[in-house]
Amino acid sequence: MRTRPTLDWTPSGDLPPGTTDLQPVADLLGAGGVLVLSGAGISTESGIPDYRGEGGSLSRHTPMTYQDFTAGAPARQRYWARGHLGWRTFGRARPNAGHRAVAAFGRHGLLSGVITQNVDGLHQAAGSEDVVELHGSLDRVVCLSCGARSPRRELARRLEEANAGFEPVAAGMNPDGDADLTQEQVAGFRVVPCAACGGVLKPDVVFFGEAVPPQRVDQCRRLVREAASLLVLGSSLTVMSGLRFVRQAAEAGKPVLIVNRDRTRGDRHAVTRVALPLGAALTTVADRLGVPVDGGAAGGPGQP
């Protein structure tokens, strides 16, 4: 029997409360060797909504699962129609103060690495290097038949040509770049096949219900082992793909700090959770540490 992936969880009453004291974050970063694990909450200030925060997309939208995507053409038509429209907005997103602060911490040698659950490419656009994209990236597509990978901008061009005049008005956008459209709005949308073999194209991201590639998990586990501490930024840690690294760090006796306005599934494993907006919080920490944060905004994932 097919089961739905875990999309949400109910916080228990015994979770420790959050704080507004940023000194533990400053102390952690000042000591160096910090591994950052980021989630959708770090990108909300760039105009990309999160899944579970206040007004999160799960309140109105059920993400496409791998099982649904591969089950038949109607689901793929719905996904690519919504995704094609969403990409026009998603691809124009710019890094915010939180992304820029993380990049600045990296340039000053305070980080051992960055793992992101996001698929928006904004850490790299802000200047972070060697980012592990746990769930892949929307700026690439992969063929499920031949395995060929190609840039998303090429697929966007082909979809534009195949769907001239496709200009529906979306009700909103979601963290996976999927715009909210009705079935009537997606009817007639033409999906294009792989240019190499004619197979089914899928964004090069890990869908809900799909496993993260084992070699990527191993890479992240190695980063946790080598880090002095773990700093979680903007993730509810609802799904195991990120929570397992928090558990690994805590079991190894490494300090875990979380900056997230809402309670998370990893709070019980953390030294503390700072309940503040990320951009302002990380900029304040950078100021305390004397780390200058660039004020510019580089291009987003859809930019050349």
Q: Is 44 labelled as part of a ligand binding site?
A: yes
56 is in an annotated binding site: yes
**What residues contact 16, with CB distance under 8 A and at least 6 apart?**
267, 268, 270, 272, 273
Question: Is 50 annotated as contributing to ligand binding?
Answer: yes
Confirm whether residue 154 is marked as ligand binding.
no
Amino acid at 56: G
- Please tell me whether 289 is known to bind a ligand: no
Say whether 272 counts as a known binding-site residue: no
Of the candidates 84, 99, 135, 269, the residue annotated as catalytic is 135
User: Is 62 known to sit in a ligand binding site?
Assistant: no
Structure tokens at 152: 């998303």
Residue 146 marked ligand-binding: yes
CB of 175 closer than 8 Å to CB of 57: yes
Q: Is 120 annotated as a binding residue?
A: yes
Active site residue 108: no
Ligand-binding annotation for 198, yes or no, is no
Is 35 annotated as ligand-binding?
A: no
Structure-token match 């930019």, residue found: 303
- The response to whether 52 counts as a known ligand-binding position is yes
167 in a labelled binding site = no
118 is in an annotated binding site: yes
Any binding-site annotation on 55? yes
Residues making up the annotated binding site are 39-59, 117-120, 143, 146, 194, 197, 234-236, 278
Residues making up the annotated binding site for Zn(2+) are 143, 146, 194, 197
- The residues carrying an active-site annotation are 135
Residues making up the annotated binding site for NAD(+) are 39-59, 117-120, 234-236, 278
